[in-house]
Amino acid sequence: MKAFTRLDARAVPLQIANIDTDQIIPKQFLKTVEREGLSKGLFYDFRFDPEGREKPDFVLNRPEYKGAGVLVAGDNFGCGSSREHAPWALLDFGISCVISTSFADIFYNNCFQNGLLPVVLKPEEVTALMDEAKGGNHMISVDLESLTVTSPSGKTFTFQIDPQRRIKMLKGLDAIGETLTAATEINTYEAKRALDQPWLERT
């Protein structure tokens, strides 16, 4: 998993509340366990018409937001089913951080396991970021070390994250990576067990 320390990126405002995981990545794109290639299905029904043509008025299709790395979203983002493909699709599209006033619990947890930073800010702060992102300057900074978000105009907002989750994001550790940090101790235990209980090693 890629470490997250600081992100300076274009922000895209998606002022829609209660976006569920089926809207983030519709069910027809869940036939793979690969993380690459899911960007084509991200917000598919918002981005494309029934014939598969881009909807020019949808914010992610507008040229000024191409290459956005931060999504500023409405309340209760990521509700619905517990599909891990949702953060995968966002990351594959190039979005490394989602800012909202609240997230569904399962989606929020999945974000940390996949290197997508979910940031919770106050409603008035999210509104301020959305308003600025709609203007001519879309660049914002998200700093996980200082726990701050800096708007295009220089306004700074602070956020909170569980300290252990913050450390793992800064180091780029998912559940497997965290386990592997104890590889020496695990190998020592396995070697000792093989000596003390050799019958367990028999096949």
pLDDT band at 71 (very low <50, low <70, confident <90, very high): very high
**More confident site: 142 or 36:** 142
**pLDDT at residue number 181:** 57
Q: Give 162's pLDDT tier (boundaries 50, 70, 90).
A: very high
- Is the Cβ–Cβ distance between 7 and 141 less than 8 Å? yes
pLDDT of residue 130: 94
Q: Is the pLDDT of residue 183 over 70?
A: no
Query: Is pLDDT above 80 for 133?
Result: yes
Q: Which residues contact 183 (CB under 8 A, 6 or more apart)?
A: none
Q: For residue 177, what are the contacts with CB-CB under 8 A and spacing of at least 6?
A: 1, 168, 171
- Domain 6-172, CATH: 3.20.19.10
pLDDT, mean of residues 141-161 = 96
φ/ψ (deg, to 5) at 142 = -120, 115
Centroid of chain to Cα 96: 5
Computed over every residue of the chain, the mean pLDDT equals 89
Tokens, residue 46: 């918002």
Q: What are the backbone angles phi and psi of residue 61, rounded to the nearest 5°?
A: -95, -10
| Each residue's pLDDT tens digit, 35-62 | 788 999 999 999 999 998 999 999 999 9
The token duo for 190 is: 């396995």
Kindly report, as residue ranges, where domains of CATH 3.20.19.10 are found in the chain.
6-172
Closest CA to 111 of 90, 132, 131: 90
- Judging by beta carbons within 10 Å of its beta carbon (0-12, 13-18, 19+), is residue 129 exposed, middle or buried? buried
Q: What are phi and psi of 176, to 5 degrees?
A: -70, -45
Regarding beta strands 156-158 and 148-150, do their DSSP bridges make them parallel or antiparallel, or are they unpaired? antiparallel
- Band (2; pLDDT cuts 50, 70, 90): confident
pLDDT for position 31: 83
pTM of the model: 0.86
What is the average per-residue pLDDT within 101-111? 96
Question: Positive or negative, the Cα torsion across 190, 196, 200, 203?
Answer: positive
